[in-house]
Amino acid sequence: MPVPKSEFDSLPPCDFYTPKELFETDQMYTVYEIARLLQGLEADVNIDRETEDILLDWAIPWIMTNADDLVVAEPRHDDEPGYYGLKE
C-alpha cells in the first residue's frame, strides 16, 4: 500500500553507481558480487542467504539497465554463475 512521503525523515535521490565506478577494468564479477558492491560491501564478504536474495533484487535490474556498458562471460563450470565486466 502506498505511504505518504511526509512519513519519511529524508528522501535522498535514487542514485546508483555506474559500471565504471563499481568495477575494476580488468576484473569480471558474478551477479552476487555485483549485489554486494552496489551496497558498498566487499565483493567477497559473507552474507546470509536471505540478505543476498534482497540484494539480488537490486543487482539484476542494475545489470539490465547498464547492459550497454557491460560484457558477459559464460560460466567456466556448470556449478558457477556467469560473469560481468566493463566493456572496453
Distances from the Cα of 4 to the Cαs of 1, 7, 8, 13, in angstroms?
Answer: 10, 6, 8, 17
DSSP secondary-structure letter at 25?
T
Q: Helix 49-65 and helix 31-38: axis angle, to 10°?
A: 90
- What is the pLDDT, as a whole number, of residue 88? 85
Show me where the domains of the chain are located: 25-86
- What is the pLDDT, as a whole number, of residue 35? 95
d(CA 25, CA 18): 13
Question: Tens digits of per-residue pLDDT, 6-22?
Answer: 999 999 998 889 999 99
What's the whole-number average pLDDT of the chain?
Answer: 94
- Count how many Cα atoms sit within 13 Å of the Cα of residue 71 in the half-sphere of its side chain: 10
Q: Do 31 and 60 form a contact (C-beta atoms < 8 A)?
A: yes
